Amino acid sequence: MIGAIRARASGGTWVRDFTASIVVFLVAMPLCMGIAIASGVPPEKGLITGIIGGLVVGFLAGSPLQVSGPAAGLAVIVFEFVHTHGLAALAPVLFLAGLLQLLAGMARMGGFFRSISPAVVHGMLAGIGALIVIGQFHILFDGRPMSSGLENIAAMPDKIFGLSSSMAAAEYALFIGIVTIAFMLGWEKLRPASMKLVPGALLGVTAATLIAWFAQLDIARIDVPASIMGAIDAPGSGFFAPFAQPAMLVTALAIAFIASAETLLSAAAVDRMHDGVRTDYNKELRAQGVGNLLCGLAGALPMTGVIVRSSANVQAGAKTRWSTIFHGAWILGFVALLPGLLREIPMAALGGILVVTGWRLISISHVRHLFANYGLLPAAIWAVTFILVVTTDLLTGVLVGLGLSMVELIQHRKSLRLRVEEEDADSARRVRLEGSATFVSLTRLTHILERIPSAHAVHLDLHGLHGIDHTSAEMMREWVARRNGAGQSVALVGSDHLVARLAPAH
């Protein structure tokens, strides 16, 4: 593998990977710290996860251009866990979650996570986004978020009506947060094309920090240790004691499940952004497992593959995994050499970044897409998952959403089997589907479709397909769009409604 990397790097990609790594570093720094704050832990814990995600997972990853680090998708479950059990208990739970991911990757279960209903995944992410916005609302007022979404919502009116015309810490912090949000959104609307790779989050934090520093505002700032090594909490003698508690095991399973689903969905999205090496999902799952094992041993935050940093990596022109590895080295160097600069950043500035990040997770366009293309049931699954994540907890929302997704099988109850026939003819691959395409058979169907050589034109015969659920339809739709985008011919034949459902939107 090392020889292949060197061969590609020597072909003129070093410069592009080097410059892309700087862009990813600038995007990752504020997000690593902000997600740590949203998770209820010190910001350096997020930086350690970012370093491991770059230097270690970047080298082992099955998705070479995907960037790993602390993710907003796990902030809520970590916050609730730390509030209940304490920060020290997170390390062994994260170690176990990493071990579960590593074993799942070794058992080649990467395809299983791609069979999870998109309605459940996006409903979960929307609920997480709402909880982040609600929680960071209190950070914008120089306060601390509560332990649950409902408590945060109940406390919001007091924050708003408690403002006064005489400027104090709460008013100054709100001003700083609004400045950060305004810079982020304004830059994305107005930035010139020549500077499109400069991240709005970096400009927002820089502007807010300069204002707070010059005005000497008496507001909360982030607290980082003088040495990053001092932030690493090595395992003690009682490290494995929490494994005897059922609540710890459930949390480890939840973190492993959510982190794996988010990582592999992000990897699939990254594959659609470039024409390079495709993701090896089992290898990616093993790499994430190793990363979370190390994060547990270091007392850091859990990690996933993250789409914001990954898309910045692709857009910046990265060609190999070295961009991701370099970005981890940049974080390490910055934290080691300039910790004093980080201590000048206002907490409200990071809160502003997370308000924007959380809001973008609440994708109303996705539920509209589900309803328009697949009917009421997938949209209802999204809505129920979203509501339960916000009002109860993350695990309840996901489990109920998965349970509801089973209802889709009722209409295919007469035949849940899917038969796939393949035939080669003159550099073309004919694939005939018979039966019902549901998430039950999605792993096998995905494997068959993705192993078709890129040089082959594909003739996909749907005449024998009696039904298809929205999970399978979304996967096939994305597969067709990806091959068409790469200039590879895919012909769909069958009933008009099936062809229309699977044809990519233009």
Q: pLDDT, tens digit, for every residue of 255-292?
A: 998 899 889 878 877 876 777 787 898 999 999 999 99
What single DSSP character describes residue 275?
S
Query: Are residues 175 and 80 part of one domain?
Result: yes
E strands within 233-302? none
Q: Which domain holds residue 263?
A: 2-347
User: For residue 455, what is the domain's CATH number?
Assistant: 3.30.750.24
Query: Are residues 435 and 316 part of one domain?
Result: no
- Contact of 260 with 101, CB cutoff 8 Å: yes
Query: Are residues 317 and 439 part of one domain?
Result: no
Q: Would 103 be classed as within a structural domain?
A: yes
pLDDT of residue 214: 94
Under the banding of pLDDT at 50, 70 and 90, the label for residue 111 is: confident
Q: Would 102 be classed as within a structural domain?
A: yes
Q: Would 369 be classed as within a structural domain?
A: no
What single DSSP character describes residue 20?
H
13: tokens are 């990609």
Tens digits of per-residue pLDDT, 98-108? 999 999 999 98
Query: Are residues 146 and 14 part of one domain?
Result: yes
Query: Are residues 121 and 259 part of one domain?
Result: yes
- Residue scoring higher pLDDT (158 or 30): 30
Q: Is 272 exposed, middle or buried (0-12, 13-18, 19+ CB in 10 A)?
A: exposed
Task: Give buried/exposed letters for 231-261 (b at 16+ CB in 10 A, else e).
Answer: bebeeeeeeeebeeeeebeebbebbbbbbbb
Query: Are residues 335 and 482 part of one domain?
Result: no
pLDDT of residue 78: 92
Q: Would 361 be classed as within a structural domain?
A: no
Question: Mean pLDDT across the stretch 209-232?
Answer: 86
Q: Would 355 be classed as within a structural domain?
A: no
Q: Domain ends where: 324, 347, 370? A: 347
pLDDT of residue 2: 47
pLDDT of residue 193: 80
Comparing CA positions, the residue from 65, 72, 44, 68 lying closest to residue 57 is: 68
DSSP class per residue in 410-443: GGGTT---EEEEEEE-SSEEEEEEEEEE-TTSHH
Under the banding of pLDDT at 50, 70 and 90, the label for residue 147 is: low
Which residues, in sequence order, are CB contacts of 449 under 8 Å at separation 6+?
Answer: 431, 476, 479
Q: What is the pTM of this model?
A: 0.78
- Contact of 492 with 499, CB cutoff 8 Å: yes
- Report CA 85 to chain centroid distance, whole Å: 25
Q: Domain ends where: 295, 324, 347? A: 347
Amino acid code (one letter) for 222: I
pLDDT of residue 505: 64
Tens digits of per-residue pLDDT, 448-488? 888 888 778 898 989 888 888 888 888 888 888 878 877 78
pLDDT of residue 489: 82
pLDDT of residue 201: 84
Residue 492, strand partner residues: 460
Query: Are residues 76 and 200 part of one domain?
Result: yes
Query: Are residues 159 and 63 part of one domain?
Result: yes
Domain count, the chain: 2
Q: Is 16 exposed, middle or buried (0-12, 13-18, 19+ CB in 10 A)?
A: middle
Which residues, in sequence order, are CB contacts of 392 under 8 Å at separation 6+?
Answer: none
Q: Would 406 be classed as within a structural domain?
A: no
Q: Which value, to the nearest 10 degrees, does the dihedral of the CA atoms of residues 384, 388, 390, 392 take? A: 170
Query: CA–CA separation, 119 vs 127, rounded Å?
Result: 12
**Residue 83, pLDDT above cutoff 50:** yes
Tens digits of per-residue pLDDT, 334-369? 988 888 888 899 989 988 888 888 888 888 888 898
Q: Would 356 be classed as within a structural domain?
A: no
Give Rg (Cα) of the chain. 23
Query: Are residues 423 and 317 part of one domain?
Result: no
**Residue 397, pLDDT above cutoff 50:** yes
Share above pLDDT 70 across residues of the chain, in percent, rounded to a whole number: 92
Which sign does the torsion angle of CA 293, 297, 301, 306 carry? negative
Comparing CA positions, the residue from 443, 439, 497 lying closest to residue 471 is: 439
- Residue scoring higher pLDDT (481 or 179): 179
What single DSSP character describes residue 504?
P
Question: Going by DSSP bridges, is the β-strand pair 490-493/457-468 parallel, antiparallel, or unpaired?
Answer: parallel
Query: CA–CA separation, 288 vs 148, rounded Å?
Result: 28
Comparing CA positions, the residue from 121, 35, 68, 30 lying closest to residue 358 is: 35
Q: Is 192 exposed, middle or buried (0-12, 13-18, 19+ CB in 10 A)?
A: exposed
Query: CA–CA separation, 24 vs 26, rounded Å?
Result: 5
| Most distant CA atoms of the chain, gap in Å | 79
Q: Domain ends where: 295, 313, 347? A: 347
Under the banding of pLDDT at 50, 70 and 90, the label for residue 415 is: confident
Tens digits of per-residue pLDDT, 225-240? 777 787 788 887 778 8
Under the banding of pLDDT at 50, 70 and 90, the label for residue 146 is: low
CA-CA distances (angstroms) from residue 296 to 48, 59, 74, 437?
11, 19, 15, 39
Q: Which value, to the nearest 10 degrees, does the dihedral of the CA atoms of residues 482, 485, 491, 493 take? A: 60
CA-CA distances (angstroms) from residue 117 to 8, 131, 218, 228, 386?
37, 21, 47, 40, 14
Q: Would 391 be classed as within a structural domain?
A: no
